[in-house]
Amino acid sequence: MRYFNYLSREDEQAFFYSLPGQFGNDADKETLAHAVGAALYMPATRLTIADDLAAGKHEGLVSMVIDLEDAVGDNQLEMAEDTLLQTLLQIGRYTAAGLLHEDRIPLMFIRVRSVEQLRRLLDLCGEEIGYITGIVFPKFNAWAGSEYFRVLDEFNRGRGPGGKVLYGMPILESAEIIYREARMDSLLDISSLLKEYREYVLNVRIGATDFSSLFGLRRSPDHTIYDIGVIRDCIADIVNVFGRMDNHYVISGPVWEYFKSDRVFKPQLRQTPFEESMGRHGRILRMSYINRYVDGLIREVAMDKENGIIGKTIIHPSHIKPVQAMYVVTHEEYMDALHIIENGQGDLGVMKSRYANKMNEFKPHMTWAGRIMTRAKIYGVLNENQNFTCLLAEERESAIV
């Protein structure tokens, strides 16, 4: 698997200073944690998942979550579990027949609804569980979380030394986390639990839809999740606990729900980056994103990144490429990170950046530089004078049509 593997060789040379790296389902935890990126949710009742993967229906798809929780009605549960198993079996058949290359199988996760269901699935799926990278744990707290991770630990230990690890991704989305009076105790209890099972924790995910529902709120498509005060404050505390240098987890941002527009407020995408990359076609592409409210999504991903959040839950295929494009490292970011790492041996404390527009302080910026390098290995580095819009250029023809 490799990000942007659908680009032509000419486009790769035009866009990238350093190409995205290859990774697979068995990559190291640090790579997988950052590579989850734009995780497309699909209900487990969907019958065509294996067919869609074999046909390459969703270009650029790198990670997906097969949902057995909110996307499945209570009366559909048995059917959903059976459909999930049939999906995994079909993926195996397509792979064996050469209709689906293993390099084209995305990172796949299952969102369960209970510990009992997790136990049942691990028994039910058998060897086919090897196609699954991890399990998503909804409405996570320290009590339920300890049960989830105990089952995961038993399963991983049972596979023996050298076996592929099945990871866990807790979603923070329950009342005891969003309510101020209980929040910090809850977060610290969860932090203690995750430290115990750190080798299995791939992401800490934020479920802002459930948070919002506890207040009867829903962000409009003209605003980001950071414009809702109670959610913004909670996200800040989550980052404070799980994003520290000495207690760092990859934190994934909440879902963007919109994919069609009836705009009232001013668009949130500047025209200049699109014009610089694609001229008139860039203006047309920008308007197509505005008309689908993707401008709000891009703005929110930018805010996620500024707050140390990498990864996004997505619910529509049109969100895959815009989110992924935002995670590519710019040439300036890469040069700054390289500059900091190369000069971090203690001979100097601060120097003007190679772009001559900022000061790089080697000690304070070293952790940031390391994270930029990790992202660069997975998502690549853009050429000088390129921005994320160049990776959306292949959509311009459809935008014109």
Res 400: pLDDT: 39
pLDDT single digits (tens) 89-134: 999 999 999 999 988 999 999 999 999 999 999 999 889 999 999 9
Q: Higher pLDDT residue, 293 or 292?
A: 293
> Is 14 within the bounds of a domain?
no
CATH at residue 180: 3.20.20.60
d(CA 203, CA 29): 10
Residue 281 tokens, joined = 């076609």
Torsion angle, alpha carbons of 90, 95, 98, 100, to 10: 80
Res 396: pLDDT: 43
pLDDT single digits (tens) 132-153: 999 999 999 999 999 999 999 9
Residue 2 tokens, joined = 């490799």
> Is 264 within the bounds of a domain?
no
d(CA 271, CA 278): 11
> Is 88 within the bounds of a domain?
yes
Distances (CA, A) of 141 to 43, 107, 113: 24, 25, 13
> Is 199 within the bounds of a domain?
yes
Q: Indicate if the pLDDT at residue 398 is higher than 50.
A: no
Q: Indicate if the pLDDT at residue 397 is higher than 50.
A: no
> Is 335 within the bounds of a domain?
no
Res 280: pLDDT: 55
Residue 310 is classified by DSSP as E
Q: Indicate if the pLDDT at residue 73 is higher than 90.
A: no
Place of tokens 């920008």: 286
The closest alpha carbon to 365, from 347, 377, 349, belongs to 349
Which segments within 22-85 are labelled E, that is strand?
38-43, 63-67
Q: Indicate if the pLDDT at residue 320 is higher than 90.
A: yes
pLDDT single digits (tens) 179-225: 999 999 999 999 999 999 999 999 999 999 999 999 999 988 888 99
Does the pTM of the predicted model rise above 0.85?
Answer: yes
How confident is the prediction for the chain on average, in pLDDT?
A: 89
> Is 86 within the bounds of a domain?
yes
Instruction: Read off the pLDDT of each residue in 151-166 and give the average, rounded to a whole number.
Output: 89
Q: Indicate if the pLDDT at residue 401 is higher than 50.
A: no
Place of tokens 């909440």: 254
d(CA 204, CA 136): 10
287 three-class SS: helix
**CA 161 from chain center: how many Å?**
29
Instruction: Read off the pLDDT of each residue in 148-169 and give the average, rounded to a whole number.
Output: 92
Residue 49 amino acid letter = I
Res 40: pLDDT: 96
Residue 39 tokens, joined = 């995780």
> Is 354 within the bounds of a domain?
no
Pairing of strands 167-172, 204-206: parallel
**CA 278 from chain center: how many Å?**
27
Place of tokens 């196609």: 131
Q: Higher pLDDT residue, 144 or 268?
A: 144
Picking from 119-128, 265-274, 288-297, 325-334, which range would have the lowest pLDDT averaged per residue? 265-274
d(CA 72, CA 359): 51
Share of the chain above pLDDT 90, in %: 73
Count of domains observed in the chain: 1
Picking from 250-259, 307-316, 364-373, which range would have the lowest pLDDT averaged per residue? 250-259
Place of tokens 């200049």: 272
d(CA 380, CA 334): 10
d(CA 209, CA 315): 12
Q: Higher pLDDT residue, 84 or 392?
A: 84
- The residue range of the domain holding 56 is 22-258+293-326
Q: Write the burial class of residue 75 (CB in 10 Å: 0-12 exposed, 13-18 middle, 19+ buried).
A: exposed
Q: Indicate if the pLDDT at residue 312 is higher than 60.
A: yes
Residue 3 tokens, joined = 């990000």
> Is 231 within the bounds of a domain?
yes
Residue 122 amino acid letter = L
